[in-house]
Each structure stands twice: as structure tokens, then as C-alpha cells.
């Protein structure tokens, strides 16, 4: 009875959250989050469903099989502004789904032994994505969301997968299913209370715009409030510092920049995010770095300099991140850009 009660409570809260996300964030691409919530919903209900035919059981289990991959895709969607999900990531997710399906079909005991570690690996990839460039993230709501996902959701998912693996070989102790249902209910309540009450704009500020929304003008979008005197002074100081070459320091972080400007880090973050429109500090630096690189690559007097030398001069540690940032701006590699700007005479 207790298990049914708490499971029902958790599922009800998940439905509330999914409905709110689907209807309240139409301009945001929340598909992978909805897939994740749907998978968790079915996973919680699964023990309450009577055994059906093997085919129907498999169809019921498919949403839960998608949970690890949906979690990784949602984390990437949340944290990687406009970067496409890597092809090798799709292959890993497809392999995890295939292995999990083979395990559910009882094709061989080996697949069960492989499925659980594989799930942990996919979930771990999602957690690593949340940690990637965390310090460079300028969106305050998204930084809070990253922390919540890392501690609560990521930890819960890892614990569940490990418990499933252990209890696949040993009897489940009494009270564990109820404890699981209570934990799920508390997490669902906490997520709903946070996203619907404490921070209702967290997802709106964090998720990327949907393809349709990018083509439309948002009538509800309001201009940012004007800068006060202190903010204007900091903005002027920031621009002067960057134009003087402050961006060339290798490994520059927002914390170091705030110390150089004798400013509070959170104030500088908000200024660059809200008033300059950058969601990631590295992209802000790239604006200045790629501008300088473009000028120097088009300068005949610097045609003898290797591309690597220019990349190191403007603050990159190696050629790979420079090439990636440059191609995002010009849709050409630095070498291709130089050839186009300085054709052989």
C-alpha cells in the first residue's frame, strides 16, 4: 500500500511537471527532457502493472530503456549552446539500447551483465557534460540547474542502476521498494517546487530555442533594464580592458577577469550575460580572439606566420579549439580563410 501511494504521488508530480514544461515552454526545445520524464514515469509504474505477454512487456519497458540516453542528450542540450551532439555519442546510445533490449529478451545472461555497466557509462557521460565548462557558464539559472541535476538526479540514477544490478543476483530486502518510491516522490516534489515555484524561469533561461521559435519574434520578450551608473562604469572598463588585449591571456577565467577589473564575479557574469548577450564566457572571449585572428590571417605582412603561432598569441592553448571556434564564425578553417583572403598572385 505504501509503495502504491508514494509511486502514485511521484507519477502525479511527474505528470504535472511534464504538462507544465510542454505547455509553458513551447519556444524551448524540451523534447529530451520530456522523453526522460516519460521514461521515469513508466519506470515507477512498471512494478504495479500485471505481467502481460512478452511483446507487451517489452513495449512497456522501452521508455525505461531510453532513460540513460535521454538523460545524456538532455544534459548536452542544456549545456552545449548550439553544438551538435557528437555522432559517436549516438552510436554509444544506440548500442546501449540494443544491449538493454537483448537483456530484456533474455537472449543471453551476458547481456544483463553488460547492460547495467553500459547504463552507468551513458549516465556518467551525461554527468560529465554537466561539469563541462561549468565555470564558463554565464546563465545563473542554468548553473543552478546543473548542480541540481548533478547532485540529485544523477546521484539517484546511479544509485538505482547499481541497486538493480545487485538485486538481480540477491533478494531485495523488505522496505527497499517503498524507500525507492518515497525517494522518487521527494525528488519529484522538490523538482516541481523548484521549477514551478522557486525558479519558474530556470528552464526558459537554460534550454535552447526550438527551431520554430528561432524563426519568430517573441512578443513577450522585454528589453533589459537600463544599466545603472556602476554597471555602465564596469562595462566601459571591461570593454577598454578587452580592447587592450585582456583576452589574450591563456586560460583566462571569469574569476580572474573579475579580479583584474576589481569587480564581483557574479556582477560581471550578469553583465556579460544579460547586457552583452553571451551565455558562455569562452564564447565572449572568442569574439575578440577570432576578430584579431581574422585580421591577422588576412594581413599580407603576417602571411609567413603559422596558424598555430597566431592561435597561441591570442590565448588558445592549442590549434584544435581555435580551429573549432574559427569555423563556427566563418564556416571555414583558418587555413581556408587565409587562402581566400590572400590568393596566390
**Residue 271 confidence (pLDDT) above 70:** yes
End-to-end CA distance of the chain: 84
Dihedral sign for Cα atoms in the order 98, 34, 117, 44: negative
Q: Which three cell numbers stand for residue 157?
A: 540514477
Cα–Cα distance for residue pair 261/116, rounded to 1 Å: 49
Do 289 and 325 form a contact (C-beta atoms < 8 A)?
Answer: yes
Helix intervals (H) in 66-201: 67-79, 87-104, 109-131, 140-148, 155-167, 176-193
* Amino acid 52: pLDDT: 62
| Cα-based torsion angle of the residue sequence 117, 149, 71, 119 in order, rounded to the nearest 10 degrees | 10
Query: How far from 276 is each of 43, 86, 230, CA to CA, in Å?
Result: 43, 29, 16
The mean pLDDT value of the chain amounts to 84
pLDDT confidence tier of residue 211, bands split at 50, 70 and 90: low
Strand-pairing partners, residue 280, are: 137
Identify which of 151, 165, 170, 88 has the alpha carbon closest to the alpha carbon of residue 119: 165
DSSP state of 170: S
Contact 136, 282 (CB under 8 A): yes
Contacts of 285 (CB under 8 A, 6+ apart): 247, 252, 315
Would you say residue 221 has pLDDT above 60? no
| Spans of all domains in the chain | 2-213, 229-341
Q: Does residue 53 register a pLDDT over 80?
A: no
pLDDT of residue 217 exceeding 50, the answer is no
Which of 84-88, 206-210, 216-220 is predicted with the least confidence, judged by mean pLDDT?
A: 216-220
pLDDT of residue 234: 92
- Higher-confidence position of 226 and 259: 259
CA distance linking residue 253 with residue 301, whole number of Å? 32
- % of the chain exceeding 70 in pLDDT: 90
Among 9-23, 80-94, 232-246, 248-262, the minimum mean pLDDT is found in 9-23
Question: By 3-state DSSP, what share of the chain in percent is helix, strand and coil, each rounded to 5?
Answer: 70, 0, 25
- Give the pLDDT band (50/70/90) at residue 281: very high
pLDDT digits (tens, 9 = 90+) for 69-93: 999 999 998 888 767 899 999 999 9
pTM: 0.82
The CATH code that applies to domain 229-341 is: 1.10.10.60
Q: Name the grid cell of 252.
A: 583566462
More confident residue, 35 or 189: 35
Residues 328 and 320: their CA atoms lie apart, in Å, by: 13
Most confidently predicted of 162-171, 173-182, 232-241:
232-241
Pull the grid cell for residue 315.
590565448
Q: Is the pLDDT of residue 214 over 50?
A: no
Amino acid at each position: 500500500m505504501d509503495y502504491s501511494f508514494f509511486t502514485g504521488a511521484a507519477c502525479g508530480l511527474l505528470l504535472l511537471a511534464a504538462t507544465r514544461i510542454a505547455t509553458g515552454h513551447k519556444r524551448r526545445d524540451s523534447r529530451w527532457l520530456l522523453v526522460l520524464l516519460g521514461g521515469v514515469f513508466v519506470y515507477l509504474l512498471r512494478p504495479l502493472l500485471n505481467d502481460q505477454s512478452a511483446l507487451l512487456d517489452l513495449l512497456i519497458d522501452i521508455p525505461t530503456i531510453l532513460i540513460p540516453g535521454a538523460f545524456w542528450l538532455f544534459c548536452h542540450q542544456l549545456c552545449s549552446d548550439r553544438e551538435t551532439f557528437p555522432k559517436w555519442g549516438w552510436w554509444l546510445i544506440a548500442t546501449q539500447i540494443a544491449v538493454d533490449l537483448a537483456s530484456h529478451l533474455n537472449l543471453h545472461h551476458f547481456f544483463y551483465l553488460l547492460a547495467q555497466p553500459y547504463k552507468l557509462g551513458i549516465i556518467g557521460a551525461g554527468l560529465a557534460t554537466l561539469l563541462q565548462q561549468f565555470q564558463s557558464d554565464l546563465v545563473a539559472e542554468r548553473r543552478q540547474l546543473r548542480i541540481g541535476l548533478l547532485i540529485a538526479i544523477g546521484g539517484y540514477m546511479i544509485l538505482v542502476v547499481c541497486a538493480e544490478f545487485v538485486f538481480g543476483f540477491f533478494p531485495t530486502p523488505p522496505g527497499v521498494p517503498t524507500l525507492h518510491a518515497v525517494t522518487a516522490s521527494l525528488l519529484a516534489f522538490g523538482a516541481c517546487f523548484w521549477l514551478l515555484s522557486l525558479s519558474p524561469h530556470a528552464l526558459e533561461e537554460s534550454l535552447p530555442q526550438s527551431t520554430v521559435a528561432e524563426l519568430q519574434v517573441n512578443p513577450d520578450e522585454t528589453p533589459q533594464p537600463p544599466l545603472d551608473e556602476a554597471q555602465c562604469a564596469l562595462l566601459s572598463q571591461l570593454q577598454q580592458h578587452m580592447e587592450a588585449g585582456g583576452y589574450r591571456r591563456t586560460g583566462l577565467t571569469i574569476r580572474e577577469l573579475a579580479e583584474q577589473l576589481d569587480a564581483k564575479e557574479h556582477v560581471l557574469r550578469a553583465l556579460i550575460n544579460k547586457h552583452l548577450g553571451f551565455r558562455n564566457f569562452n564564447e565572449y572571449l572568442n569574439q575578440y580572439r577570432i576578430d584579431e585572428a581574422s585580421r591577422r590571417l588576412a594581413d599580407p605582412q603576417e602571411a609567413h606566420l603559422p596558424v598555430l603561432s597566431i592561435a597561441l598569441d591570442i590565448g588558445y592553448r592549442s590549434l584544435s579549439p581555435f580551429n573549432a571556434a574559427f569555423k563556427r564564425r566563418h564556416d571555414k578553417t583558418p587555413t581556408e580563410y587565409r587562402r581566400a583572403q590572400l590568393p596566390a598572385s
